[in-house]
């Protein structure tokens, strides 16, 4: 499957999810503390609250970060497995100036993070 097909398929599927389901999936894969951090929250428990049907909704900036994260999580975990995807999210990354993808998402560096994910998905980088 081409990179465009992988990315397109993940984007369509994640766009159909509600924000609470997105948070639940990220909590399960990355853990609630990491999810809260990448969303830009200082409250380490907030992602548990966001996941509840009667809980508060994340603000617009957090929603953008969560949407970016779930797309990347879906693509990477399907291609390489959850363990590898988790390590990718938290490890320093040469395509992000040795920052982790979590840090890059938290700083709204979506294009850079997408390029780093594409490098992982294709096994190389041409940029």
**Contact assessment for residue 102 and residue 38, using Cβ atoms and an 8 Å cutoff:** yes
> pLDDT tens, position by position, for the chain (127 residues)?
555 555 555 555 666 799 999 999 999 999 999 999 999 999 999 999 999 999 999 999 999 999 999 999 999 999 999 999 999 999 999 999 999 999 999 999 999 999 999 999 998 754 4
How far apart, in Å, are the Cα atoms of 88 and each of 8, 49, 58, 79?
20, 26, 24, 12
Per-residue DSSP letter, 96:
G
- The first and second tokens of residue 79, run together, are 């291609």
Pairwise CA distance, residues 117 & 3, whole Å:
10
pTM across the whole model: 0.85
């Amino acid at each position: 499957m081409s990179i465009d097909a992988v990315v397109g398929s993940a984007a369509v599927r994640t766009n159909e999810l509600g924000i609470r389901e997105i948070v639940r999936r990220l909590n399960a894969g990355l853990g609630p503390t990491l999810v809260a951090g990448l969303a830009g929250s200082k409250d380490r428990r907030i992602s548990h609250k966001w996941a509840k049907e009667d809980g508060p909704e994340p603000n617009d900036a957090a929603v953008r970060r969560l949407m970016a994260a779930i797309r990347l999580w879906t693509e990477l975990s399907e291609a390489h497995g959850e363990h590898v995807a988790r390590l990718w999210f938290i490890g320093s990354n040469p395509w992000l100036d040795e920052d982790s993808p979590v840090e890059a998402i938290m700083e709204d560096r979506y294009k850079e993070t997408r390029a780093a994910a594409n490098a992982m998905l294709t096994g190389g980088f041409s940029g």
